[in-house]
Structure 1
C-alpha cells in the first residue's frame, strides 16, 4: 500500500467516526427537546452520558412489557420490570444483537422523592468493560435506542 492509499483509508475511517458522533449528538439533542426526563438535563446527561468511551445512535423504537420475565443470576432490574423491542427491523435486530435482547428497567434518582427510568441491555467483556444498549423514553411513546461502551 502506498502512503497516499493509507492516508485515504485513515481519512475514510475518521470521516465515518465523525458521522457516527454527529448523528449521536443530534439524537441526544432531540432527546433533550422531546425526551421524558425529570430535573435539569445537565444532571441527567452527567448521570447517563459521562464516562462513555463510544456511543452510536441506533434508532427510535417501540417496546413491549414482558410481565412474565424475572430476575436471574445474569440479569437484574431495579424495578423488577423487563421489556423487549417490538418493532425494530429484524435485520437491524440481528445485526445489532437485539433479536432476543431483554431490557431491564433502571432508575436515575433526581431528588429524594423523584426519579426517571430508562431501559438497558448490557454485558461485561472484562472487569468493568461494559457494552450495551440503552432505551430512553420519548414524549411520543417511542424510545431512543443507542449503543454504548464504557
Structure 2
C-alpha cells in the first residue's frame, strides 16, 4: 500500500538575554501555521516543501525561522478544519485568520473553542485538531 501525508514540524526556542522566542519549522504540504502578533496581526506561514510521498523520493527539508515577540500566538491545525467538499479552502483559511485576529488575545482554551465552534463541521469527514501556543508576555513590574 502506497501512503502519503502532510505534517508541520515546529520548535520554539527562547532567545538568550530577552523575552523573545524563535520559531523554527518545516512544512511538508500541510495547511500553513498561523502566527498572531501581540498587536493582533495574523500572518500565514506559507513557506513549505512538498508533501511526504514515496514516489517523490528523499530530499532535504527546508527549515524556516521567525522571531516571536512576547505574547505571540502560534496556531497549528489539521486540514480537516478548513477543507471539505463544496467549500473553498482559501476562504475557510481566511475566516480562520479573521477569527484568530479578533479573538486571539483571549485565553487559549477560549480561542480554540471559538474557532472549533465556527469552523469545524459537526460531523467532520477528516480529523480536526487544533494546537495553540502563546509565548509568555513580559512581566509587568509590581506597584507598591
TM-score higher than 0.5: no
TM-score of the superposed pair, with normalisation by structure 2:
0.23
Which one has the bigger helix percentage? 1
TM-score of the superposed pair, with normalisation by structure 1:
0.22
